[in-house]
Amino acid sequence: MRLIFLLTLLTVKLMAQPFPTGSVRLMQLQGGGALPEKILNGRTVVLYSPAIRQQEIPEIHDGLVQAGIDIVAYFETDRVLAGYDAELAFAKYFAIREVVNLVIVDKAASFYTVSILPVPPKKDQVDLSQPAWQVSDASLKEALRQVYSTALNTYKRQNMLIIDVPETELQVNIIEGRRTEAYASDLRVDRLAVQKTGDEETDRQLEEIMKTYPYKYALVDPSIPELDLRKQGYFYILRFVHARGPIAKQLLGYEMTIGATAIASVTFDDGAEKVKTIPADRPVYKFYFRQIEFNNVYLGTRWDADTTWQQSMQNFIAGFRKEMRVN
């Protein structure tokens, strides 16, 4: 059974040909897998979608703890799968914490879905390519009961020291180098790598938008490692995050007003700079430059996120052109 929670993930429908995001890969997550062998003998992280209410987290935690599952942290799905840099940071975090299992929880179409899969070691992304063990039910309590009965009927419980309170406030830094709210002026002479998506129509749009970029760049195969790109003469790479506005801002180190219902963002329309207000629960794209060798991040001089990758990329390039005084 396909993971149904992506039907409502991030509260909006995905575009027909979306720019590559973690949510796209989640749509391809398949059921039919076995319950991980270390589910009762190793650490687990829970990812939960926006459809899960905060007051439901303690119920989820109690149900999983009763089954003998050692949950060390809870993260929003779009926080972990916000983009390459976010996934890399969380994959490293999972390795450091010795996390061996991943539980994904969501509610969609009046059904709760719990998916459980192992976390393979030495991955630079959250691996969703393997089949997951899944259960769906209209009752969260019943779905958790099925997790309980399956786990304890399949494996011997070995996790003994399990925290009683869910840990939901952990912060994982996705920026390894220096964070700068400006543009990389070195790009006047340094080459920029822009990864293709593999989708013909998306790459056609990407190529058209990048024609407005004023300096040296090339569209590159996404399978080429960054170190190899550096050897080929690329100093910077274009990256993005894709998540609800407050999470996107937190991931990139911006201050965010608690409880804000909307976020102001700069956009460009035929070269004219405008301010638009985007609801805080809407997923947005925010592009930035990252220096390959030192992982320094250049976010630009303004918050220019938008709800489509096309407009967000156009905003970022237009702001860059304006800062570099390119007509």
pLDDT band at 4 (very low <50, low <70, confident <90, very high): very low
Strand partners, 114: 105, 135
Quote the tokens at residue 108.
């969609």
Confidence band of 127 (pLDDT split at 50, 70, 90) = confident
| Domain ranges across the chain | 4-154, 179-323
Tokens of 306: 């938008």
Judging by beta carbons within 10 Å of its beta carbon (0-12, 13-18, 19+), is residue 156 exposed, middle or buried? exposed
Q: For residue range 6-20, list pLDDT tens digits in order.
A: 333 333 333 334 676
Per-residue pLDDT band for 100 (boundaries 50, 70, 90) equals very high
* Cβ atoms of 117 and 33 closer than 8 Å: yes
Q: pTM for the full model? A: 0.90
What mean pLDDT is reported for the chain? 90
What is the percent of the chain with per-residue pLDDT over 70, rounded to a whole number?
92
> How does pLDDT run across 172-220, given as a tens digit for each residue?
999 999 999 999 999 999 999 999 999 999 999 999 999 999 999 999 9
Lowest model confidence (mean pLDDT) among 34-43, 103-112, 121-130, 158-167: 121-130
Report the pLDDT value the prediction gives residue 160, as an integer from 0 to 100.
78
143-173 pLDDT, tens per residue? 999 999 999 999 998 887 788 889 998 999 9
User: For residues 45 and 242, what is the distance between their CA atoms, to the nearest angstrom?
Assistant: 21
What mean pLDDT comes out for the span 78-84? Answer: 94
The torsion region of residue 176 among left (phi > 0), alpha (psi -120 to 50) and beta comes to alpha
Angle value at C-alpha 276, between 75 and 315, nearest 5 degrees: 80
Looking at the domain 4-154, which fold is it?
Rossmann fold (3.40.50)
State the pLDDT at residue 208.
97
**Which pLDDT score is estimated for 36?**
96
Bridge partners (DSSP) listed for residue 82: none
